[in-house]
């Protein structure tokens, strides 16, 4: 088989040309980075967990009518997605203060916000993904006012879905980051949720204990990252079968 064409390699994923026009194969690596790649490691199995978890969240979004890039999972580390022009923004939704917001405003981590707050960073590693107001986004043409209205509306729907799903398994959704892409139906552009949704790009705290079950475990050396992601996957019922350690009973075949 011909070697497939690599389109892009990022910090946690590789994108390959898909089997049909308009499709992309998204490969999840085991690499973990933080603080704009100042801190790096390889966490065996992280890519497998994130592939499954992103499939789970994107499929749920499809079920409630939030358009997204996910088509199907291909194997343990790869999924087929729709090719989209990525809008150069990190769209962050916050329910509780944490991370850069807690630091910027001097708020205690975990303080409930008066309502979900949506903010935007300009995607540029060299600049450290700076926070930008909506006016910059429109003025520089990264997205139109209509795009921004659609992005905020979709981000809040993703927040409701993710908050409810996580609450159902005893986890508080503190905040998350998503990205959007533009696809074309004929000449008509439409925005869809793209990239990934996984514990790499969310803050997830156990409701009872407050234990962190997301990439902050890696950022701040709080323990084993895979154990945290496995716990999230286990609670959601999406553990890959080869990571399951549950004893299996012989099944009687009639």
- List 129, 195, 196, 231, residue binding ligand TMP (CB under 6 A): 129
Please report, as residue ranges, which positions from 205 to 224 form the binding site for ligand TMP (by CB under 6 A): none
Closer CB to ligand TMP, residue 55 or residue 129? Answer: 129
Closer CB to ligand TMP, residue 22 or residue 41? Answer: 41
Is there binding between residue 202 and ligand TMP (CB under 6 A)? yes
CB-closest chain residue to ligand TMP: 99
Strands 70-73 and 31-34: unpaired
State the sign of the Cα–Cα–Cα–Cα dihedral 111, 117, 122, 123.
positive
Closest CA to 98 of 22, 148, 172: 172
Whether residue 89 contacts residue 143, with contact meaning beta carbons closer than 8 Å, is answered with yes
Helix (H, G, I), strand (E, B) or coil at 226: helix
| Contact flags string 73-112 toward ligand TMP, x per CB under 6 A | -------------------x-----xxxx-----------
Among 20-28, 60-68, 197-205, 241-249, the segment contacting ligand TMP (CB under 6 A):
197-205
State the sign of the Cα–Cα–Cα–Cα dihedral 181, 214, 161, 121.
negative
Among 38-46, 66-74, 162-170, 199-207, the segment contacting ligand TMP (CB under 6 A):
199-207
Is there binding between residue 55 and ligand TMP (CB under 6 A)? no
Closest CA to 162 of 88, 64, 254: 64
Measured between alpha carbons, how far is 175 from 37 in angstroms, rounded to an integer?
21
Is there binding between residue 195 and ligand TMP (CB under 6 A)? no
Least distance (Å) between residue 97 CB and ligand TMP: 9
Among 137-145, 149-157, 187-195, 200-208, the segment contacting ligand TMP (CB under 6 A):
200-208
Hey, which bits of the chain come out as E strands?
6-9, 13-17, 23-28, 31-34, 39-42, 70-73, 78-82, 85-86, 89-96, 112-122, 131-132, 171-185, 188-194, 202-206
Please report, as residue ranges, which positions from 163 to 192 form the binding site for ligand TMP (by CB under 6 A): 175-177
Closer CB to ligand TMP, residue 18 or residue 196? Answer: 196
CA distances from 199 to 45, 47, 148, 206 (A): 13, 11, 25, 13
How many residues bind ligand TMP (CB under 6 A)? The answer is 12
Is there binding between residue 13 and ligand TMP (CB under 6 A)? no
Closer CB to ligand TMP, residue 66 or residue 98? Answer: 98
Token output for 33:
């980075």
Whether residue 177 contacts residue 215, with contact meaning beta carbons closer than 8 Å, is answered with no
Which residues sit at the interface with ligand TMP, rule CB under 6 A? 92, 98-101, 129, 175-177, 201-203
């Amino acid at each position: 088989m011909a070697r497939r064409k690599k389109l892009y390699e990022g910090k946690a994923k590789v994108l390959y040309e898909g089997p049909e026009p308009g499709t992309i194969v998204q490969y999840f690596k085991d690499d973990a980075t933080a603080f704009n790649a100042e801190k790096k490691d390889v966490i065996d199995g992280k890519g497998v967990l994130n592939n499954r978890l992103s499939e789970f969240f994107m499929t749920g979004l499809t079920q409630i009518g939030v358009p997204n890039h996910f088509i199907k999972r291909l194997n343990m580390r790869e999924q087929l997605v729709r090719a989209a022009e990525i809008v150069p923004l990190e769209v962050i939704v916050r329910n509780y203060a944490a991370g850069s917001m807690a630091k910027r405003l001097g708020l205690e981590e975990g303080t409930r916000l008066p309502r979900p707050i949506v903010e935007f960073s300009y995607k540029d590693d060299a600049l450290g993904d700076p926070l930008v107001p909506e006016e910059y986004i429109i003025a520089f043409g990264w997205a139109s006012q209509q795009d921004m209205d659609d992005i905020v509306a979709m981000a809040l729907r993703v927040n409701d879905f993710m908050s409810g799903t996580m609450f159902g398994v005893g986890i508080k959704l503190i905040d998350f980051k998503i990205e959007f892409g533009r696809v074309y139906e004929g000449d008509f552009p439409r925005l869809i949720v793209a990239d990934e949704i996984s514990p790499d790009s969310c803050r997830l705290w156990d409701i009872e204990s407050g234990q962190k079950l997301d990439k902050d475990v890696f950022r701040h050396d709080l323990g084993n990252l895979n154990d945290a992601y496995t716990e999230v996957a286990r609670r959601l019922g999406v553990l890959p079968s080869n990571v399951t350690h549950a004893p299996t009973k012989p099944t009687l075949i009639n």
